[in-house]
Amino acid sequence: MKNRWIKLIGFFTIVTMLTGCDPLLVLDPKGPQAEVQAKDIMLSIGIMSFIVLIVFVILAYMLFKYRASKQSPDYKPPYIEGSTLVEVICVGIPVLIVIYLSVVSVDSNYKVESTPEKYEHEEPLIIYAATSNWKWHFSYPEENIETVNYLYIPVERPIEFKLYSYGPITSFWIPQLGGQKYAMADMLNTLHLAADYPGEYMGRNANFNGKGFTENTFNVTAVHQDEYDEWVNDVKDTAETLTEEKFDTLLEPGHVGQSTFNGTHLMFLPPPVHVGEEVEAAISEDDESQQNKN
């Protein structure tokens, strides 16, 4: 009996925690993708709580009603084979639930794997995000600038992160903007995110990549477009130029803090092209526009 009370209390704590004053990061979305995910999470918590509740109630009922101390000492339980009707219910209801969740899941898959609907008409900002042990290199090919361990992004505009790694598999994750995706050495991944509100967000590598994993984090600052443009101009005016030598020293294992550069490493060290022509084309285009500017 005690057990059930613990569960019930636990249950209510869950509900209060989830809706409480200091919301958990993932359930406090600041972008459309994270919102889709938070909705799915809350929906599935709801449905799953219902299932847990049913199991608890049936269990409590059985244990209470049929425990030996409540029966006459000579009670002999009957032989019961099983019943088709019961089986159909026990299979049928879970199947219906799974079908419903499948529909939701498939729908959400396509949402998080494409440009957020809300900002479909905005031109996406492309940022290359690469890891090396244990840093993040962010290249802005359009702006031709590069940052280390921090991100500046405009709000209300779709952002396409192109992810890859100079080392083990890592995972790019900004919980409040949306779920994570792997960055690997031999292929380029795309993660679609967007921020609805200006603010500072926590970003990190979520996939274990050795000794410096814990500190493999980055800061995300989301600002309005005009502020963002200002920041870009500022960087262009003040930051040093990223040379091949400089980038090589950056790639060496260790922690380096934050830094900012003019130019990107994409010129001299192109990302993997495993995803196909699309990306290759994009890069050579960048190359051209680069040359034109010069």
Partner 1 sequence: MDYFERFAIPHPSPAIYASMVAIGFTVIALIFVLTYFKLWGYLWREWLTTVDHKKIGIMYLISAIVMLFRGGADAIMMRAQMAVPNNTLLDAQHYNEIFTTHGTVMIIFMAMPFIMAFMNFIVPLQIGARDVAFPRLNALSFWLFFMGAMLLNISFVIGGSPDAGWTNYFPLADNEFSPSVGTNYYLFALQISGLGTLMTGINMIVTILRMRAPGMTLMKMPMFTWSAFIANVIIVFAFPVLTVALTMGTFDRLFATKFFTTTDGGMDMLWANFFWVWGHPEVYILILPAFGIYSEIISTFSKRNLYGYKSMVGSMVIISFLSFLVWTHHFFTMGQGALTNSIFSITTMAIAVPTGVKIFNWLFTLWKGNIEFTTPMLYSMLFIPTFTIGGVTGVMLGMSAADYQYHNTMFLVAHFHMVIIPGVVFAMLAGLHYYWPKMFGFMLNEKIGKITAWVIAIGTLLTFMPMFFSGLDGQARRMYTYTESTGFGIWNMISFIGAIGFTIGFMLIVYNVYYSIRYSPRNIGMDPWDARTLEWATPNPVPFYNFAKQPHVNSVETFWDSKNNGHELFPEPYEDIHMPSNSGMPFILACIFFAWGFSFVFSMWIPAILSTIGIFICMALRSLEKDPGYYVTVKEIKETEKKLRGVQ
Question: Which residues in 123-152 contact partner 1 (CB under 8 A)?
Answer: 133
Q: For partner 1, what does the binding mask look like between residues 221 and 260, x meaning CB under 8 A? A: ----------------------------------------
**What is the smallest separation between the CB atom of 31 and partner 1, expressed in angstroms?**
12
Residue type, 177: L
**What is the smallest separation between the CB atom of 246 and partner 1, expressed in angstroms?**
22
Q: Which stretch binds partner 1 (CB under 8 A): 31-39, 143-151, 222-230, 235-243?
A: 31-39
Residue type, 51: I
Cβ distance to partner 1 smaller for residue 91 or 289: 91
| Residue keyed to tokens 């500022």 | 234
The interface with partner 1 within residues 40-79 (CB under 8 A) comprises: 40-41, 44-45, 48, 51-52, 55-56, 58-59, 62-63, 66-68, 71, 75-79
Which letter does DSSP use for residue 77 in this model?
P
Q: Specify whether the CB–CB gap between 156 and 194 falls below 8 A.
A: yes
Decide: is 36 part of the binding site for partner 1 (CB under 8 A). Answer: yes
Q: Which stretch binds partner 1 (CB under 8 A): 105-113, 121-129, 259-267, 286-294?
A: 105-113
The H or E element that residue 173 is part of is: strand 170-174
Decide: is 212 part of the binding site for partner 1 (CB under 8 A). Answer: yes
Decide: is 6 part of the binding site for partner 1 (CB under 8 A). Answer: yes
Q: Using alpha carbons only, give the angle 31, 34, 40 rounded to the nearest 5 degrees.
A: 140
**CA gap 35, 197 in Å, rounded:** 12
**CA gap 178, 187 in Å, rounded:** 21
The interface with partner 1 within residues 159-178 (CB under 8 A) comprises: 163, 165-169, 171, 173, 175, 178
Residue type, 269: L
Instruction: Give Cβ neighbours of residue 28 (< 8 Å, ≥ 6 apart).
Output: 38, 176
